[in-house]
Structure 1
Amino acid sequence: MKRVTAFIGSARKQATYEAVREFERNLNSYTEVEFEYVFLKDYRLEFCRGCKLCFDKGEEFCPIHDDRDLLIDKINHSDGVIFATPNYSFQVSAPMKNLLDRLAFVLHRPCFFGKAFTSIVTQGVFGGNSIVKYLDSMGENSGYSVSKGCVLTTLEPITKAAEEKNSRKIKKAAARFYRVLMRPSPPNPSFFRLMMFRMSRTTMKEMLSDEYCDYRHYKEEGWFQSDYYYDVSLNPVKKLAGWFFDFIGHRMSRQS
């Protein structure tokens, strides 16, 4: 049975929570899923201090000892995750942003490969589409297989027409997520994702050393020699593109 964890950035169990519950019901109409709700307000998560120890030495050297690793453990034991947040001042809520900031080292060392990801944003009027793009981008850069999130208008008092429209959006989002969740293996990378990997790993190899955690991690994972983060079969065009991206990364490192 697949395990899905929803991380909810709302302080109230209202529109965002109800949207996730409806999403769960839709998902369970396809297959039985073990579903967990994680309300970020119930966890002790301090603000990032910007010391960069997680980048340079490793996340285990973070001077803050709170519930961060407990939340990471929940992600690691999930087949899919949902980040659900209200639109607060055209951004995710503060607890959600704080979690993302505390996981910033994952953007340097992606590790959530093979896990499905989607987002749910609730809002009064507008701005939610840019938040979904932001969350989807964070998901992709963290290694998740991302299915496009959805934006729901929950302006109070909500009309019957708005409720029905939200239900249609949730149903479609759940179907997209289900397809990614049941995918047997991670997808072949797009040209953009291939470019990001090859250019970053080449510059890292030439500019850093064993003194840095990023360098040690890439070396231990074999990423300095691999075609991509995980085993994939690149077609000849992408093989050629990969070599070109390596060359560009080499030129960038020499000019730095």
Structure 2
Amino acid sequence: MSKKQVLGALTAALLLSGCQSVNTTSGGAVGVDRKQYMFSMLSSDEVNQSYAQSYQQKIGEANSKNVLDKSSANARRIQAIANRLIAQAPVFRPDSAQWNWEVNLIKSDELNANCGPGGKIIFYSGLIEKLQLTDDEIAAVMGHEIAHALREHGREAMSKAYGVSALKQIALIAGAPQEAVAVGDNGVNLLMTLPNSRGNENEADLIGLELAARAGYNPNAAITLWNKMSKASEGAPPEFLSTHPASGSRISSLEAAIPKVMPLYQQAKKP
């Protein structure tokens, strides 16, 4: 058997034995129903526990630097908004009702927020203050970040990274030149990792839009939010080299989805 045949056989065996196709969430009114491929050896519980440790370390560091905000009006705002969004998360993923959700505000000029595996949310005060976000716009950001956790995009990215690393090792064992492996790695980054990351961002936009609508927050705020973000991020890289969709295409996708979730907003109990 040639080295090329050996590589092909090992690759097939790796993909068949190590990956599983899963649906992490229901599709919802927005219809997010893409199959995701995860390494079975990388369980949700392991990823959640690992992230929880990192999260507690980050919160501890923020506390030691006196930048952890637990009492301001904005801290109360994000907690109240989070409570409403978290209550809707089981619509997409029933087991999220048992997650140990946490919400924290860090005083920083950074225009950022995230929700890690298992429901660990961090908001940065700069995002709220610099962009003068309304509650509806905060809900749009937070819904987007919660959607990443519900869809396990972090675990999915780790699964891909493990797969690429394993295939690189197989290629080297099979005799592929290191230069070729390096070129291939760059190609994987451009042709697989980045486009999929943009796809994940679009999924988070759509699920986040529905979460906010179900929680009683106006879905049109997602448009005003990204208009603000677009103005704040002038000079961003072109879409084909970015993990985030360009604001224009992002806004178009959201505008197309708003009619699907507007009835949910109209029926929801308002804050």
The two structures have a TM-score, normalised by structure 2, of: 0.28
TM-score, structure 1 length as denominator? Answer: 0.29
